[in-house]
Amino acid sequence: MITLTIIGIVAAITLPSLLVNVNDKAWNAQRKALYARMSQAIGEMDSVAGYGTKNGEAVDINDDNLKASAAEAFIIDGLSKVYRVQNVCNKNNLKACGIPPTIITMNGNSLDFPKTRSELNSIASQAMDTDAAAFETVNGESIALYYNPICESDHPEKSYYAGQVFCVNMIYDLNGLKGPNEVGKDVGFMTVFYRTNSVVAAPNPFPSDASTTAKSYSEDGSDAGSLCAKQGEDAKIPDRDELASMFINRFLIGWDNNSSYYWSGSVISSGANGLAWRQGMGYGGRYRDDRSYSGHIRCIKK
């Protein structure tokens, strides 16, 4: 009896953590598979911009009809041609596509699920404020999609705003309405940047910063990325697109009022007087900055 009691106590202590580890591994594998499928699909599209607009005519960013229909138009007329899409829903019926009404952010707060681009990120004002739409995949994921039909191509030679080149943002739930509906577990995000030669970024951030005062370059030859190596083998510093995706989805991470600057691992030129891309979380500026400047570091999982 004593032996059985001890076994029962040990099982009660260890079983929950084992189940968490199993779920985390399963979600991570599913997350990577979804990213691979979506990257391939986006790569097959000539352009991700302009859906829902009239060809050859100037876009009125205050057009209510376009705001309401653009995301659905992208899914039906664009994405569904290269990716198997099921059960498309508008912003008033997201739950029918498996989108939970509320989710838990990375810092543990409850968040009403954003139904428009401005609810997703009110300060990415360089993007058009369109309504969200959603769909389900044949693999069981539920995806809410936010669309900016006026997104631009990359500007590699100058500083600019991430909102200018944000084309598509997706918040996915790997198991639909089932719990825990928590960012970093079954809920995540990915962002498509640039109207042509598009890039899909799907960062999975750590829950806290690795540093708040790091420099991209230091005299001992190390750089900001070395701080991520200290967080574990599965950690890396985000590139500039992954960092911009984190800005677009700042409320999901818990950066509600964050005006800090974060270093990316995208280096333009080496050395103390070199440049690297740094992302502002206040207004979304992405800057070609001197590597000796200080900034925050938020690592992501490989």
φ, ψ of residue 16 in degrees (nearest 5): -60, -40
Residue 110: the pLDDT is 96
Residue 61: the pLDDT is 80
Q: What is the pLDDT along the chain (302 residues), one digit of tens a residue?
A: 676 566 656 445 554 443 445 688 999 999 999 999 999 999 999 999 999 987 767 788 888 899 999 999 999 999 999 999 999 999 999 999 999 999 999 999 999 999 999 999 987 778 899 999 999 999 999 999 999 999 999 999 999 999 999 999 999 999 999 999 999 999 999 999 999 999 999 999 999 999 999 999 876 667 888 899 888 889 999 999 999 999 999 999 998 777 899 999 999 998 778 999 999 998 899 999 999 999 999 999 98
**Radius of gyration over every alpha carbon of the chain, rounded to an integer in angstroms:** 20
Give per-residue burial for 61-93: e unless 16+ CB within 10 Å, then b: eebeebbbbbbbbbbbebbeeebebeebbbbee
Rounded CA separation 293/263 (Å): 9
Peptide bond into 180 cis (omega under 30): yes
For residue 151, count CB atoms less than 10 angstroms from its CB and return exposed for 0-12, middle for 13-18, buried for 19 or more.
buried
Tokens 């790997």 belong to which residue?
174
Residue 13: the pLDDT is 53
The encoded tokens of residue 135 equal 């769909």
Give per-residue burial for 223-232: e unless 16+ CB within 10 Å, then b: bbbebbeeee
Are 37 and 172 in contact, with CB atoms under 8 Å apart? no
Residue 19: the pLDDT is 42
E-assigned strands of the chain? 85-90, 102-104, 110-112, 133-137, 142-147, 160-161, 166-173, 187-193, 199-201, 211-215, 235-236, 261-267, 275-280, 285-290, 294-297, 300-301
Q: Give the residue among 204, 242, 246 at the shortest CA–CA distance from 27.
A: 204
